[in-house]
Amino acid sequence: MSTETSSRAPHEAHDLDAFFQAVVRTNPFLANAVTDPSGEEIDVETIHRSEFEELIGYAEQAHRQRGHLGQVVWGEPGIGKSHLLARLYRWAAQGDRAVCVVLHNLQPPPEYLPRYILKCVIQRLVRGQAEAFHGTPLYWLVTRAVREGLRQSRRDAPISAREARDAYRKVVNSLVSGHPGAGPDARTIYHVLFHFFLGAYRGQYLDGNETTADLAVRWLAGDELDHDEARELELRCGEDREHPVALPGTQAVESVLVALAELAWLGGQPFVLAFDQVDNLQDAQIASLAQFLHPLIDHARNLFVVVSGVQSRLLHFLEHGVILRAAWERIAQDERGIRVGRIRKEQARQLLDARLEKFVEPYVTVPGVKARLHEDGLFPLGQAWFEQRTGEAVDFRPRDVINWARDRWREIQRRIGQLGGPAWLAAWPDPCPEAPHAVVPPTEDELARRIDEQAARRLGQQLQRRQREPESLPADAANLAGLVETLLRQCLDPAWGYRLRQIERPAPVRAGRLRVYDLVLTSQADQEGTTLRTGVTFLVTPNRTSAAAALRRMVDDEPPPQRVVLVCDARRPLVLGPKGQEYLDLLQARGPERFQVIHLTFPQYAELDALQAVVGDARTGDLEVDLAGGHVRRISEAEAVASHHRNDRYRGNALLSLLLG
């Protein structure tokens, strides 16, 4: 017996030490917000079950009736709205129940918002890939239509591409002819979708060449093609080879989404578009979104649109005419919406149990841990702590419950640091100091420190969200320009020490000519008041014609600004023909002080997105700091911006640093 003890004791001691190290080094309650909809978020099914089932019911109704529905998910900040949409996304992905795309933090200028929405949807459906399209959700959407056509033709034997096309056309004819909302470009869109399917099939099974599939993805996402590329897809081209071929307008953008919803219906899936935290958009952006969704919902079949936000903000948009009443009646067909409420005490306990269970799972057989878990299922937090912390309250925000547990965990970490792991475990449960009921206002410095910590935490969460799924932030000039403009406008106050004084956004077309620069910045060059004008162009396209035209406009601009900055996305590098390269050489001949090219990496782009997401969360009241006694205080938009300035987060981004001088 003693031999067994001696052989087992070192193993037990090691495991117990590993448990103490895990408690000290990690905190399972740090994340109090959803970081991305497809991530492995800890989910408690009993929380907001009825609201979730209502969402599923709407999606299934849209499919069953082959109709269109819109609904609003709303409630106070920190109540679980994003978590509910993330649960809907995971439900859709399980067994391909639905095609679901969740969109967040859309930042292009209002006039470009519909096209950017489409790009986000297409990139989600091809998983952000520029190759290996076989097996992506978009591939299966078209494949099912081809199979349905073959089934109707009773063809089981191996078939040719022409036979597959003929079978597909029969299905498309039935979809378009019986659908008045299909749009005038419907047949062209379905035609390009078939080219995508054929190109992806060819790349997987024949010669590995997926050029046609990539061209189809670019065109469907709203990007421009030159004439040779367009002919590859059998698209009509005009006489002017200098004029690229692209979706003609917002109605065509809508028609692509309508076609995708139709293909999803063939596959037995509802098509779900979910817009998370739309209230962090600016007024002009939310107006553009509502104006786009109104006809989309009217014309589509098998479509369920979900819009999520803080109730007071959404009602503010409606009452002040930002969202027109007619559009609101489509977006929220049931004006009550789906109200996400607070959770009960037993649900708060389940929320803690779920996170604790995942944390302690590797250590449940360690004797010391096993004994404490047998005594108290909330170890190491403790049931006594939970009862004291929740008190006589009957309902709670999930975020508050998680924050309380986070702070309790930090206290445990301090105790282990003071006593050592074995002594802490022997003395457990820790005494639970009574939480003060009065709000003790923090000092100005302490409040600033807490705001900085919370802003940094939310910044990291948003970065993590984008890095997990880069396709949720596709390469796009308009969104990038909108982000940069919004962030630079937060730096116009001279008190922060920047030289930037004015930002102009030229009209897209002036006197029949396309604009040369997306932004024109005026900065103070010296103490004598000399100014420096910088023209900034965002060029994110692999299309030679478009790239050459943009570069030529910069070359021909007279007189040019003292400095020109060309911003490209490293994920979509410029492809230049002889003329384009000639124009670029002429610009670079001006010297690095007058012309610079910035190839923005994805982490740098995601950083811009995260900076604005933090400010947007503050605008909606969704960014908070904890105060004494378990109370919280909302961080204002101005305070979030000030935190970015204090911590030099704007200059910390390579592009913003250059533009701020």
In this prediction, residue 631 carries a pLDDT of 78
pLDDT score of 16 more than 80: yes
What are the C-alpha distances in Å from 265 to residues 25, 118, 142? 48, 19, 11
DSSP-H helix ranges across 178-248: 186-205, 211-220, 227-232
Average pLDDT of the segment spanning 256-279: 96
Q: What is the pLDDT, as a whole number, of residue 10?
A: 45
Q: How confident is the model at residue 134 (pLDDT cuts 50, 70, 90)?
A: very high
Residue 592 pLDDT: 94
Confidence of residue 258 (pLDDT cuts 50, 70, 90): very high
Least confident of 46-50, 94-98, 325-329, 526-530: 526-530
Q: What is the pLDDT of residue 38?
A: 52
- Can you spell out the DSSP letters for 285-312? HHHHHHHHHHHHHHH-SSEEEEEEEEHH
Least confident of 145-149, 242-246, 495-499: 242-246
> How many other CB atoms sit within 10 Å of the CB of residue 97?
17
| Mean pLDDT value across the chain | 90
When pLDDT is cut at 50, 70 and 90, the band that residue 194 belongs to is: very high
Residue 300 pLDDT: 96
- Kindly tell me the number of DSSP H helices and DSSP E strands found in the chain: 25, 16
Centre a 10 Å sphere on the Cβ of residue 237 and count the other Cβ atoms it contains.
Answer: 16
pLDDT of residue 265 exceeding 90, the answer is yes
DSSP reduced 3-state for 231: helix
Phi, psi of 174 (to 5 degrees): -70, -35
Mean pLDDT of 567-575: 93
Burial string for 330-366 (b: 16+ CB within 10 Å, else e) reads bbbbeeebbebebbebebbbebbeebbeebbeebeeb
Whether the pLDDT of residue 195 is over 70: the answer is: yes
For the segment 184-210, the average pLDDT, to the nearest whole number, is: 92
Q: What pLDDT score was predicted for residue 255?
A: 97
Measured distance CA(348)–CA(389) in Å, rounded: 11
Whether the predicted pLDDT of 40 surpasses 60: no
Q: Cis ω on the peptide bond leading into residue 77 (within 30° of 0)?
A: no
Q: Mean pLDDT check: name the lowest of 348-357, 504-513, 601-610.
A: 504-513
Q: Which residues pair with 522 in a beta bridge?
A: 502, 533
Express each pLDDT in 486-544 by its tens digit. Answer: 999 999 999 999 999 999 999 887 766 889 999 999 999 877 778 999 999 999 998 99
Burial of 407 (0-12, 13-18, 19+ CB in 10 A): middle
**Amino acid 11: pLDDT:** 46
Which tokens in the block code for residue 271?
């098509």
pLDDT of residue 157: 58
Mean pLDDT of 587-592: 96
Residue 269 pLDDT greater than 60, yes or no: yes
Q: Residues 412-428: pLDDT tens digits?
A: 999 999 999 999 999 99
The band of 25, judged by pLDDT with boundaries at 50, 70 and 90, is: very high
Contact 332, 308 (CB under 8 A): no
Is the pLDDT assigned to residue 70 strictly greater than 90? yes
Instruction: Supply the DSSP symbol for 526.
Output: S
The residue-averaged pLDDT of 634-650 equals 97
**Cα–Cα nearest to 470, from 538, 537, 597, 569:** 569
Q: What is the pLDDT of residue 66?
A: 95
Handedness of CA 448, 451, 453, 459 (dihedral sign): negative
Which one is predicted more confidently, 584 or 209? 584
- Strand runs labelled E in 88-197: 99-104
What pLDDT was estimated at residue 438? 60
- For the chain, percent of residues with pLDDT exceeding 70: 93
pLDDT of residue 209: 85
Task: Check residue 232 and give its pLDDT.
Answer: 93
Contact of 51 with 83, CB cutoff 8 Å: no
Predicted pLDDT at 242 = 74
Taking residues 97-101, what's their average pLDDT?
A: 96
**Is pLDDT at 396 greater than 90 in this prediction?**
yes
Mean pLDDT in residue range 279-289 = 93
Overall average pLDDT of the 48-76 stretch:
95
Residue 90 has pLDDT above 70, yes or no: yes
The lowest-confidence range among 267-271, 272-276, 429-433, 622-626 is: 429-433
Q: Collect all residues with Cβ–Cβ distance below 8 Å to 552 and sequence separation of at least 6.
A: 579, 583
In a 13 Å sphere around the CA of 646, the CA atoms on its Cβ side amount to 15
CA 649, CA 643: separation in Å to the nearest integer? 8
